[in-house]
């Protein structure tokens, strides 16, 4: 059995060794200045199963991300479904139909900017409307809703009960979107992740663990546009 490759070893004034798997599936080790290399290699070998599992996970996410190509003939995600990208000269607005999303004809260098604006416009309608619907359904009021461009989290709830959702949620499955909204509404009542909080989430959404798993597996969405 071959040894696991350490792609980068970073030494600093720290007290412990930390193993990190990057989104490119590389193994980065952070260690104290004088920590013996043989002990680092021993630890890496002890954590082999964890490292290989996380690297496979990172590679799978990279492969999923690579399938999405924001260009004519490529694919994008909208409400959890994959659509082929096309352009049509006589269109005035975007049309979603038959497994494809057709955009007005435009120069190639303008498309990504146009696409992100389109996602934001969809989020402004769909997400804000959905927060209000779920809020009324579960009888949990909130101060207001706000859209962000966050790349590290799907949503958040402030101390003043303002719910923030990233517009990138428009790429997620509708049930996963509902979970994020339900999660943040529960934070209106509980500002932590205590047992009481999770019991509330489960009461409102019994299959929330499935949706949380979907979001974890599709976290690469937050970085692709």
Q: What is the pLDDT of residues 159-185, one digit of tens each?
A: 999 999 999 999 999 999 999 999 999
64 vs 75, residue with greater confidence: 75
| Structural domain of 180 | 114-223
Token couple for 182: 């339900």
Using an 8 Å Cβ cutoff, are 187 and 95 in contact?
no
Give CA–CA dist 225/216, Å, rounded: 17
Which range among 45-54, 76-85, 93-102, 201-210 has the greatest average pLDDT?
201-210
Q: What is the pLDDT of residue 126?
A: 95
CA-wise closest residue to 144 among 118, 126, 165: 165
> Are residue 94 and residue 159 in the same domain, yes or no?
no
> Are residue 96 and residue 173 in the same domain, yes or no?
no
Give CA–CA dist 222/172, Å, rounded: 10
Which uninterrupted H or E stretch holds 44?
helix 37-46
Q: Is residue 179 part of a domain?
A: yes
Using an 8 Å Cβ cutoff, are 32 and 10 in contact?
no
> Are residue 181 and residue 163 in the same domain, yes or no?
yes
Task: Lay out the sheet containing 144-148: strands in order across.
Answer: 144-148, 162-166, 155-157
Q: What is the pLDDT of residue 68?
A: 56
> Are residue 12 and residue 59 in the same domain, yes or no?
yes
> Are residue 33 and residue 79 in the same domain, yes or no?
no
Q: Is residue 105 part of a domain?
A: yes
74-88, 121-135, 141-155, 202-216: which has the minimum mean pLDDT?
74-88
Q: What is the pLDDT of residue 127?
A: 96
**Structural domains counted in the chain:** 3
Token couple for 187: 């934070």
**At 209, which CATH number?**
3.30.2010.10
Q: How confident is the model at residue 66 (pLDDT cuts 50, 70, 90)?
A: low
Give CA–CA dist 29/201, Å, rounded: 36
Q: What is the pLDDT of residues 80-90, one digit of tens each?
A: 888 999 999 88
> Are residue 57 and residue 127 in the same domain, yes or no?
no
SS3 33: coil
For residue 2, pLDDT over 80 is answered with no
Stated pTM of the model = 0.73
Mean pLDDT score of the chain, rounded to an integer?
Answer: 90
Q: Is residue 2 part of a domain?
A: no
> Are residue 58 and residue 131 in the same domain, yes or no?
no
Q: What is the pLDDT of residue 188?
A: 96
The residue to which tokens 């057709």 are assigned:
102
């Amino acid at each position: 059995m071959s040894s696991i490759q350490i792609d980068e070893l970073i030494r600093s004034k720290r007290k412990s060794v930390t193993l990190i798997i990057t989104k490119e599936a590389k193994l980065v080790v952070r260690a104290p200045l004088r920590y013996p290399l043989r002990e680092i290699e021993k630890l890496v070998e002890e954590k082999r199963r964890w490292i290989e599992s996380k690297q496979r996970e990172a590679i799978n996410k990279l492969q999923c991300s690579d399938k999405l190509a924001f260009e004519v003939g490529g694919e994008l995600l909208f409400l959890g479904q994959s659509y082929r990208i096309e352009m049509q000269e006589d269109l005035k607005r975007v049309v979603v139909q038959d497994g494809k999303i057709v955009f007005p004809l435009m120069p190639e260098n303008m498309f990504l900017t146009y696409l992100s604006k389109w996602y934001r416009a969809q989020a402004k309608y769909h997400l804000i409307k959905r927060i209000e619907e779920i809020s009324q359904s579960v009888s949990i009021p909130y101060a207001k809703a706000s859209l962000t461009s966050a790349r590290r989290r799907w949503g958040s709830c402030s101390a003043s009960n303002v719910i923030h959702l990233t517009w990138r949620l428009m790429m997620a499955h509708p049930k996963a979107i509902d979970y994020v909204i339900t999660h943040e509404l529960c934070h209106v009542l509980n500002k932590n992740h205590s047992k009481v909080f999770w019991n509330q989430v489960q009461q409102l959404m019994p299959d929330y663990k499935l949706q949380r798993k979907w979001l974890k597996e599709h976290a690469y969405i937050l970085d692709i546009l």
